[in-house]
Amino acid sequence: MSSRPVRIPGPDHPITVTPAGGRVVVRDGDRVIVDTRDALILQEASYAPVFYLPRKDADMQALSRTAHHSWCPYKGEASYYSLPGDSERAVNAIWTYEQPHDAVASIDGHLAFYADRVTIEHTPD
């Protein structure tokens, strides 16, 4: 069994998770996939901020779980979902950390979307 590295966010690789405020809507074409006022923003090091959206506000019936997984030493193992349809853009377009590391525990129960595959609209309060 291989061991996967686990790292703790710190000054050399900061991670913050904060409420996004306002409303966030994710669309796949004309179809609304998520509509929420409970979004989080995860800012990791110098990467672009990512919205993490509660599953409770997502149309989970529209998504298909895939067998794909990836590992982040700071967040844990990610599982993936695909959007409706079979286009390359739809496959593995959404990820989620079902057992995130303690440092980012607040993203448990949330989904994140590749921003170039969906339309994400954020309307601040």
Map out the domains of the chain with their CATH numbers.
15-123 (2.170.150.40)
Q: Which amino acid is at 122?
A: H
Identify which of 70, 51, 69 has the alpha carbon closest to the alpha carbon of residue 115.
51
Task: Indicate the DSSP class of residue 45.
Answer: T
pTM: 0.95
Q: What is the C-alpha radius of gyration for the chain, rounded to an integer number of angstroms?
A: 14
Q: What is the pLDDT along the chain (125 residues), one digit of tens a residue?
A: 468 999 999 999 999 999 999 999 999 999 999 999 999 999 999 999 999 999 999 999 999 999 999 999 999 999 999 999 889 999 999 999 999 999 999 999 999 999 999 999 999 98
Identify which of 41, 3, 37 has the alpha carbon closest to the alpha carbon of residue 19.
41
Per-residue model confidence (pLDDT) at position 2: 60
| CB-based contact 99:107 (threshold 8 Å) | no
